[in-house]
Homo-oligomer: A and B are copies of this chain.
Amino acid sequence: MKKGHQVTMKEIAKKLGVSVSTISRALKDSPELHPDTKKRIVEMAKEMNYQPNLLAQSLRISRTNTLGVIVPEITSHFFASCISGIQDHANKRGYNVMICQSNETLELEKANIRTLVASQVDGLLISLSRETNQFDHLLDIYNREIPFLLFDRVNEDIPVSRVTFNDEGGAYQVTKHLLETGCKRVMYVSGPEDLYISKKRKEGYLHALNEFGITPDPALVKISDLTIEGNIKIGKEIAEMKSRPDGVFCMIDPVAIDILTFWKSIGIKVPDDMALAGFTNNPTSAVVEPPLTTVAQPGYEMGKLSVTHLLDQLDGIASDDPISIVLETTLVPRQSTKALK
| A contact set with B: CB distance below 8 Å | 1-6, 49, 51-56, 58-59, 62-64, 66, 73-77, 80-81, 83-84, 87-88, 96-101, 103, 114-115, 117-120, 122-123, 140, 144-147, 257, 261, 283-284, 287-289, 313-314, 316, 320
Contact = CB atoms under 8 A, between A and B. Distances in A.
A147 B3 contact: yes
A7 to B, nearest CB: 9
A115 to B, nearest CB: 6
Nearest to A142: B4
Contacts of A257: 287
Contact of A1 (B4, B76, B261, B316): B316
Given A55-B58, A55-B119, A147 B98 contact: no
Given A53-B59, A74-B74, 8 more contacts: A1-B320, A49-B144, A51-B118, A55-B59, A55-B119, A261-B287, A284-B287, A288-B289
Contacts of A103: 88
Contacts of A97: 98-99
A14 to B, nearest CB: 19
B77 A84 contact: no
B52 A118 contact: yes
A72 to B, nearest CB: 12
A53 B118 contact: yes
A80 B84 contact: no
A96 B98 contact: yes
A45 to B, nearest CB: 14
B144 A4 contact: yes
Contacts of A4: 144-146
Contact of A73 (B84, B98, B320): B84
B77 A120 contact: no
Contacts of A147: 1, 3
Nearest to A114: B51
A88 B314 CA distance: 30
A140 B84 CA distance: 27
Contacts of A283: 284
B77 A77 contact: yes
Nearest to A120: B55
Given A75-B77, A146-B4, A84 B98 contact: no
A244 to B, nearest CB: 23
Contacts of A1: 147, 313-314, 316, 320
A49 B75 CA distance: 34
Nearest to A257: B287
Contacts of A84: 73-75, 101
Most B-side CB within 10 Å, residue of A6, A103, A122: A6
A121 to B, nearest CB: 10
A84 B97 CA distance: 16
